[in-house]
Amino acid sequence: MDIDFPNGKKLRLVIGDITKIRVDAIVNAANSGLRGGGGVDGAIHRAGGSAIMRELDEVRGKTGGCPTGSAVVTAAGALPAQYVFHAVGPIYRDGRHGEPAQLAACYRKCLELAEERNVRTISFPAISTGAYGYPAQEAANIALETVAAHLDGAETRVREVLLVLFDAGFYQLYQRTASHSLSNWIK
């Protein structure tokens, strides 16, 4: 599904493996220790190669890691991209411990990093919805609203944002949610 904004920017919902799709920047769903893991994180390190972890080791050495709601940048190794933005989503407890603001902050931080680096195309996984237990519907609302608000803005150089959903169930949920919340832009 494509959502076209009046300024020519595009939000795309895609089913698939985020490591296989060519973009300028791929967002990873990382942990605050930047130590790798399963899910998207595992797939990104496997496909990108060990250079990504070596770069994260340096970042960790300097800063101790990355706080929840933020992201750090590395090169993308063998991935079909220039950068990986390692975003740290919240671990979901009950939604009353700042999780919505932290999840929105992840998306916003990655979009800021993209603007700073002249990234035109960027792909996001459904951050926090796997091991971190964020309810899919609430995560979809936040992802779609945050990305749409950015793309609709006047000053964005990012021209295409892909939300990459790993399975058909997630894809349908995001599609339904987009049809409701972004209905004025849907083709």
Contact residues: ligand APR, CB under 6 A: 17-19, 29-31, 36-43, 89, 125-132, 164, 166, 170
| Separation of CA 81 from chain center | 14
**Burial class, 60, CB count within 10 angstroms (exposed 0-12 / middle 13-18 / buried 19+):** middle
The residues that are catalytic are 41
| CB of 121 closer than 8 Å to CB of 24 | yes
4: which DSSP letter? Answer: E
Minimum Å distance from CB 7 to ligand APR?
28
- Report in angstroms how near the CB of residue 83 gets to ligand APR at its nearest: 17
Both tokens of 144, joined, read: 């779609």
Whether 159 contacts 4, CB under 8 Å: no
Rounded least distance, CB 186 to ligand APR, Å: 23
Query: Which residue, 36 or 153, is less far from ligand APR as judged by CB?
Result: 36
Q: Which amino acid is present at 173?
A: L
Single out the residue of 129, 118, 106 nearest to residue 158, CA to CA. 118
Three-state secondary-structure class, residue 165: strand
For residues 138 and 136, what is the distance between their CA atoms, to the nearest angstrom?
6
Q: Of 8 and 38, which has the nearer Cβ to ligand APR?
A: 38
* Minimum distance of ligand APR from residue 36's CB (angstroms): 6
Q: Which is nearer to ligand APR, 3 or 30 (CB)?
A: 30
CB 25 within 8 A of CB 119: yes
